[in-house]
Copies of this chain bind each other. A is one copy, B any other.
Amino acid sequence: MVQTHIRIIYGDTDQMGVVYYANYLRFFEAGRSEYMRSRGLRYGDFEREHQLWLPVVEATVSYRAPARYEDVVTVETSLVEARRATARFEYRVLRGADLLATGHTVHACVDAGGRIRRLPRELLERLGAAEPAAAGSG
């Protein structure tokens, strides 16, 4: 699990006075990107070197309590599954000890032509190395 801290700005809020619901998917992405960096992977480099992309094919968010302007929220990101051609991340968004939201994303691995491709061994090894229980057998 990797933690990312995000300061809520005015532009994240809506007229209900809380963070707009779509922005949690931005927070998840920040967490996911940080997760990869923590495993020595820069996602931008991954795209360039392998000419592979990991678009989101499924996303869910469960909203429990609102985040507000100036809060510093923590995104806890875990890789819970890495199969032949898909990876699944789970997220928890907290403010201190308060759980604000949970969710997950599923990613496919595709090439420049949009075809499904096997996740590169290097990626699986790196992602799985630090959390062995999380890497599936595909």
Contact B16–A53 (Cβ < 8 Å):
yes
Q: Could you say which residues of chain B place their CB within 8 Å of the CB of A61?
A: 58-60
A11–B9 CB distance below 8 A: no
**Contact yes or no, B11 A26, CB < 8 A:** yes
Residues of B within 8 A of A26 (CB): 9, 11, 22
Cβ B59 vs Cβ A55 within 8 A = no
Residue of B nearest to A19 (CB): B15
- Given the contacts A9-B30, A62-B57, A21 and B25 also touching, CB distance less than 8 Å: yes
Smallest CB–CB gap between A105 and chain B, Å? 8
Is B11 a contact partner of A14 (Cβ separation < 8 A)? yes
Asked if A83 is at the interface of the complex by the 8 Å CB criterion, the answer is: no
B15 touches A69 (CB 8 A): yes
By the criterion CB–CB under 8 Å, are B55 and A66 in contact? yes
B residues in contact with A69, CB < 8 Å: 15, 43-44
Interface residues in A1-54 by Cβ distance below 8 A to B read 7, 9-11, 13-18, 20-23, 25-26, 29-30, 33, 37, 42-44, 53
Which residue of chain B is the closest to A4 with respect to CB atoms? B7
Q: B62 near A58 (CB under 8 angstroms)?
A: yes
Give the residue name and chain of the B residue nearest to A58 (CB): B62
- Whether B30 and A7, one on each chain, are in contact in the complex, defined by CB atoms closer than 8 angstroms, is yes
